[in-house]
Amino acid sequence: AVWQSILALEQVGRHDNFFELGGHSLLVVSLIEQLRQQGLSLAVSAVFAAPTLAAMSARLHQKSEQDVQAIAIPPNLIREDSQRITPAMLPLVTLTQPQIDQIVDRVPGGVANIQDIYPLGPLQEGILFHHLLTETGDTYLENILMHFDSRTRLESFLQALQRVIDRHDIQRSAFHWQELPIPVQVVYRHAPLPITELTLSAGENAESQLRRLTDPDSIRLDITQAPLLAAYIAQDPDADLWWLSLLHHHLVCDHLSLEIIFSEVQALILGEEASLPAPLPYRNFIAQTRQVPIEVHQAYFQQLLGDVEAPTLPFGLLDVQGNSRDKHAKIVEDIVTLDDELAQQLRDCTRQLGISPAVLFHVA
């Protein structure tokens, strides 16, 4: 039943594979959470190791009191009427009172606008590292260009987008690291989408102008302020159109979450808000990732990679982000379509190994 709900399927067979039916890493988190709500425990690793319904079911077990204590997610102790945030109110991170006060001072609206404070997820830590590594542009800042046939329709889209931001904690999160023992993300209660209106010149292609003015290779977002989204709008001087360049940062937004955002925007514009699922608090995911102490992860990779003493750079290339500002290091993308027989052989091979074609290509 949980599979049917998460994957939007009417029927699931006992030998069906979660990932072949459309499951992915983010849905794994939803799967585990829904099982948890029914008193069932399942490790993330078990989903990947046993992706069929029968195999996954065999790994489920009823929670004992010890299990419940082990995977319990500590409650958020910050209330809307809290006058001050103290170390005891932050069960997911250890900060001193001066460190907390320093964070509060940097949040617009102060204590009243802080919903939660907790650490970053592992991938977020890596993305923050790359953000701090560069001074011009941002490897993980991206933008989407759209056009609308009227200012009214553009405004409707932006209003719906704000309501999506209001729904999801991760879209109201800012990031702080200065003078702190570890980086943290701060969830705002209110995070208005910043909207900047630009004036474009007549005679030059409007899309090209807006793309140049909002190029992530040359501008940065202040990630210490939420949301990590920014809207740049402009009227097309040569056509009856309005343009939108929506900047979004990978710290809070990936390809899949963008699909979720746009589907929710569409539902809101169509008046179908009641059909939207209740959003899961991002703190639940952070709590789950921190159940395994960091020392365990370090020991694992030390055993795996401890004897590697030199960088293992593919082809000796250090910058392989794909958007290097060095024209000599620019990556060229080439798309090759495999013939049906080879494609089928690859899929058969990966299915036997229990992996996806993407994993096979990454390893190759």
The whole-number pLDDT of residue 125 equals 94
Task: Give the whole-angstrom CA distance, residue 60 versus residue 46.
Answer: 9
Closest CA to 325 of 188, 219, 209: 219
What ranges do the domains of the chain cover?
2-71, 87-286, 334-363
Run of H or E including 296? helix 294-305
The whole-number pLDDT of residue 62 equals 54
Closest CA to 249 of 226, 232, 233, 282: 226
Task: Give the whole-angstrom CA distance, residue 357 versus residue 310.
Answer: 29
The whole-number pLDDT of residue 319 equals 61
Q: What are phi and psi of 94, to 5 degrees?
A: -105, 110
The whole-number pLDDT of residue 318 equals 67
Which homologous superfamily does the CATH classification assign to the domain defined by 87-286? Chloramphenicol acetyltransferase-like domain (3.30.559.10)
The whole-number pLDDT of residue 330 equals 62
Radius of gyration of the chain (CA): 23
The whole-number pLDDT of residue 168 equals 96
Q: List the pLDDT tens digit at each of the 364 positions of the chain.
A: 999 998 989 999 999 999 888 888 778 888 988 888 888 888 888 888 889 999 999 888 755 444 544 567 899 999 999 999 999 999 999 999 999 999 999 999 999 999 999 999 989 999 999 899 888 888 899 999 999 999 999 999 999 999 999 999 999 999 999 999 999 999 999 999 999 999 999 888 999 999 999 999 888 999 999 999 999 999 999 889 999 999 999 999 988 889 889 999 999 999 999 988 888 899 988 998 887 788 888 898 999 999 988 877 766 766 655 554 455 556 678 899 999 999 999 999 988 887 788 888 888 8
Name the fold adopted by 2-71. 1.10.1200
Task: Give the whole-angstrom CA distance, residue 201 versus residue 208.
Answer: 11
The whole-number pLDDT of residue 297 equals 86
Q: Which residues contact 173 (CB under 8 A, 6 or more apart)?
A: 185, 186, 187, 188, 226, 227, 228, 251, 252, 282
